[in-house]
Amino acid sequence: MNFRSKPRDEPEINLIPFIDVLLVVLIFLMLSTTYSKFTEMQVRLPVADTEQQRNLPHEIIVTVTASGAYGINKTMLESRKVDALAAALTLAAGESKAGPGNAETVLIINADAAAKHQAVISVMEAARRAGMSNITFASEASGPARAP
């Protein structure tokens, strides 16, 4: 009687077919994926150290307070909804474009430093809905420290 068991061969995992399949899937995904830029709104960042200020006749100034209230050209809005803000921006742009020169309207967002990020994003969304593409942010000029 032979009580010894036969030595078993260790099973071997062949990785080459697995790698081949992964490469085919990778190539398929690379060829079938479309890469697109989301450029619905082009934002020009403000430069704080400017010597001269621009004088644009067709600009709309949107003010965002620390509490999240909106104002367009020094007129406060009652609603804080994006749809109401977009309608007010469309109305202000219509009044602005009726002036001489028909230059493209520039939207200037003048947000309080303590304003919530969502309030500023809502202004940008309303501008997109109103068809405005030139947006800039107001900033204070850098210089000597100011007392609060």
- What does the pLDDT profile of the chain (148 residues) look like in tens digits? 667 777 777 778 889 999 999 999 999 988 887 665 544 445 454 555 555 555 555 888 898 888 888 988 888 888 888 888 999 988 888 876 543 333 578 888 888 888 888 989 999 999 888 888 888 888 776 555 554 4
User: Which residue in this structure is represented by tokens 């709104």?
Assistant: 41
Cα dihedral 99, 102, 106, 107 sign: positive
Reading phi first (left if > 0) and then psi (alpha if -120 to 50, else beta), residue 102 is in left
Domain CATH for 77: 3.30.420.270
Contacts with 77 (C-beta within 8 Å, 6 or more apart), sequence order: 69, 70, 71, 84, 85, 88
Looking at the structure of the chain, the number of domains it has is 1
Q: Is the pTM of this model over 0.75?
A: no
Is residue 125 in a domain?
A: yes
Domain extent at residue 74: 42-48+56-137
Q: Is residue 73 one of the residues assigned to a domain?
A: yes
